[in-house]
Amino acid sequence: MRIMVVGSGGREHALAWKLKQSPKVSEILVAPGNPGTAGFATNVPVKADDIEGLARVAAERAVDLTVVGPEVPLTLGIVDLFQERGLRCWGPSKAAARLEGSKVDMKEFLRRHNIPTARFHVFTKSADAIAHINEIDGPCVVKTDGLAAGKGVTVAKNAEQARDAVIRMMEKHEFGKEAGSRVVVEEVLRGEEISVFAFCDGHNALMLDLVQDHKQAFDGDEGPNTGGMGAFSPVPGLVNQRTEDEIVRRILVQTMSGLVHEGRPYVGLLYMGLMLTDAGPKVLEYNVRFGDPECQALMPRLRTDLVDICLASLDGSLDKLDLEWDPRTSVCVTLASGGYPGDYKSGLPISGIADAEARGAIVFHAGTKMAGDQLATAGGRVLSVVALGTDLDQARSVAYAGCDAIAFAGKHCRRDIGRRAEARKR
Ligand code: AMP
Ligand code: GLY
């Protein structure tokens, strides 16, 4: 089979790497890919949001299956377009992808299907939103409706911060006119936040092993939020059987059947952001894509052929498949540019990847480029360094040995990835 992966980050490198291991695969194309994927796949210079261009490549090169990494092509309707052209593309339709594209749609979906979530109100006028915030007169969460690259949410400690967020979203249009035309104001949920991933075939869903991200830039969960500074899997002690059953029964099954009921069954990978509250797990958000760097931590542990998973998910037979996992622990550390998530320099030479691999690490490229013959930095998150170990300590020590082998000016990583699991054991 010829497979095309859409995207260019660490997540897509990990997906392509995993797909390449399938005996069913003869060639992998990655659009647009990165210098890491160029090592074993054919990079195609088409951007991930050019869905028309991607459909052309898939037809011209007789691609048998397309796997989409980022959410933008999905929300633009890449799956629908490919279907119209008789091409197989693994992911949710445009209608199903609206779970991520619009916070208002998502919240209203949760309400319609009685899925646990924070209580909320939707506003189309800033004056009404502010009047409501004045009434609450305490902590609340303000969310802009459209995609805002993860920055459209303010967890306000008080009414003043909430009013300020409404003004930035609805009057100053900081996230664009469209995204700011509606806002959600909701109650603050308290508890531990977890991400749950599931492969879905429209009717059936298979939950993946647990994985935990580290969102803040610095050790000890300090500093600004980032796309993700590292992840580890499995996550012992986080979710007991009762909570897991509740997640499946009250959230995952309800989500799948709610979407079927609305004529937009969900196919692909579903990412659920949950808060484990005293009153049980509640949905914070859905994403219609894999987490990054969670994907990089999970793929090396997944033993089941990812091609089989995609095909079963496309033909509705996931219930006949069991996911098999490597019992070892994986740790993924993000090597970031100095200054990230704020300003940072690009184009700085990178060395030592082969040494990191010789020490047992798997290195996925995220923000890299070739400057002539020299590999150089080209983004905030530069590389994902992953290691498997018989326990967390061993995985951490190999991953950090890999990180230490790699050099570029300003290199920054958190030194405490996975430590949260140790803290939980105590
Ligand atoms: P979202 O994009 O909706 O997941 O929001 C981004 C982040 O804001 C989440 O990962 C949470 O950390 C936080 N957040 C969102 N909604 C709430 C809420 N109702 N209560 C507490 N924190 C929240
Ligand atoms: N690592 C979080 C995300 O992919 O959204």
Q: 130: domain range?
A: 119-186
Please give the number of the atom of ligand 2 that sits closest to the Cα of 287.
5
Protein residue with least CA distance to atom 13, ligand 1: 155
96 within 8 A of 267, measured Cβ to Cβ: yes
Ligand nearest to C-alpha 272: 1
The pLDDT value given to residue 426: 55
Residues of the chain with pLDDT under 50: none
Domain count, the chain: 4
Same domain, 200 and 304: yes
Neighbouring residues of 391: CB distance < 8 A, sequence distance ≥ 6: 329
Residues 199 and 316 in one domain: yes
- Residue 149's pLDDT is 64
The pLDDT assigned to 146 comes to: 77
> Within 13 Å of residue 59, how many CA atoms lie on the same side as its CB?
12
Mutate to test the pocket of ligand 2, among 294, 333, 381 (most ligand atoms within 8 A of CB): 294
* Model pLDDT, residue 180: 77
Ligand number with the minimum distance to the CA of 293: 2
Is there a domain that residue 101 lies in? no
> What is the reported pTM?
0.94
Q: Are residues 249 and 309 in the same domain?
A: yes
Q: Is 398:322 a contact under the CB 8 Å cutoff?
A: no
Q: How remote is the CA of residue 379 from the centroid of ligand 1, in Å?
A: 25
For ligand 1, atom 5, the nearest C-alpha belongs to: 153
196 and 177 fall within a common domain: no
Decide which of 303, 320, 337 is a domain's last residue: 320
- Residue whose tokens read 């980032």: 226
Report the atom number in ligand 2 closest to the C-alpha of 195. Answer: 2
Among candidate residues 146, 169, 186, the one where a domain is terminated: 186
